[in-house]
Structure 1
Amino acid sequence: MASTSIQKVSHGKYDVFLSFRGEDTRKSFTGHLYAALKNKGIYVFRDDKELEKGGSISPELLKAIEESRISIIVLSKNYASSTWCLDELAKIVECKNRKDQILPIFYDVEPTVVRKQTASFGEAFAKHEEAFRNNVEKVQTWRDALKTVANKSGWELKDR
Structure 2
Amino acid sequence: MALLIPKGSSLFSSTHQWNYDVFLSFRGEDTRYGFMSHLYQVLCDKGFNTFIDDNLQKGEEISAELLKTIESLMILIIVFSENYASSTWCLDELVKILECKNNCKLVLPIFYKVDPSKVRKQEGKFGIALAKHEEKFNNNMGKVQRWRAALNEAGSLSGLHYRDGNLESKFIQGIMEKISSTKLKCTRLFVAKHPVGVDTHAKAIEMLLDIESTDF
1:18 aligns with one of 13, 16, 24: 24
Q: Does the 8 Å CA contact 2:75/2:106 hold for their aligned counterparts? A: yes
Q: What is the deviation of 1:47?
A: 2.3
Give yes or no for contact 1:18–1:45 (8 Å, CA) kept in 2.
no
Across the two proteins, how many residue pairs are aligned to each other? 152
Structure 2 partner of 1:63: 68
Worse overlay, 30-39 or 18-27: 30-39
Partner residue, 1:105: 110
Instruction: Structure 2 unaligned segments of length 5 or more: list them.
Output: 1-13, 166-216
Which of 119, 136, 143 is equivalent to 1:114? 119
CA spacing shift, 1:150–1:32, aligned 2, 3 Å: same
Runs of 4+ residues over 4 Å off in structure 1: 42-45, 49-52, 97-100
Q: Which amino acid aligns with 1:123?
A: I
Q: Which has the larger radius of gyration?
A: 2
Q: What do residues 62-104 of structure 1 show as CA deviations (whole Å, max 9, x unaligned)?
A: 1221121111111000000000100111111111256661111
Moved more, 80-89 or 91-100: 91-100
CA contact (8 A) 1:115 1:150 kept: yes
Q: Which residue of 2 aligns with 1:3?
A: none
1:123 aligns with 2:97: no
Tell me, in whole angstroms, the C-alpha distance in 2 between the residues paired with 1:50 and 1:66.
16
Q: Which stretch has the larger CA shift, 32-41 or 56-65?
A: 32-41
- Counterpart of 2:28, as a letter, is G
Give ranges in structure 1 of 5+ residues lacking alignment. 1-7
Which structure carries more relative contact order (alpha carbon 8 Å, separation 6+)? 1
Which residue in the other structure is 1:5 paired with?
Answer: none
Partner of 1:48: 54
- In 2, Cα distance between equivalents of 1:10 and 1:145: 30
Q: Does 1:147 align with 2:152?
A: yes
Quick one: structure 1 residues 65 and 100, their matched pair in 2 at CA, closer, same or farther if it must change by over 3 Å? closer
Asked if structure 2 preserves the Cα contact closer than 8 Å seen for 1:76 and 1:109, the reply is yes
For the residue of structure 1 that corresponds to 2:43, the secondary structure is helix
1:138 aligns with 2:169: no
- CA shift, 1:34, in A, is 2.3
Q: TM-score, normalised by structure 2?
A: 0.63
Q: CA deviation at 1:12?
A: 3.6
Which structure shows the higher helix fraction?
2
Counting aligned pairs with the same residue, the percent is 57
Q: Give the superposition deviation at 1:44.
A: 5.2
Deviation at 1:115, TM superposition (A): 0.2
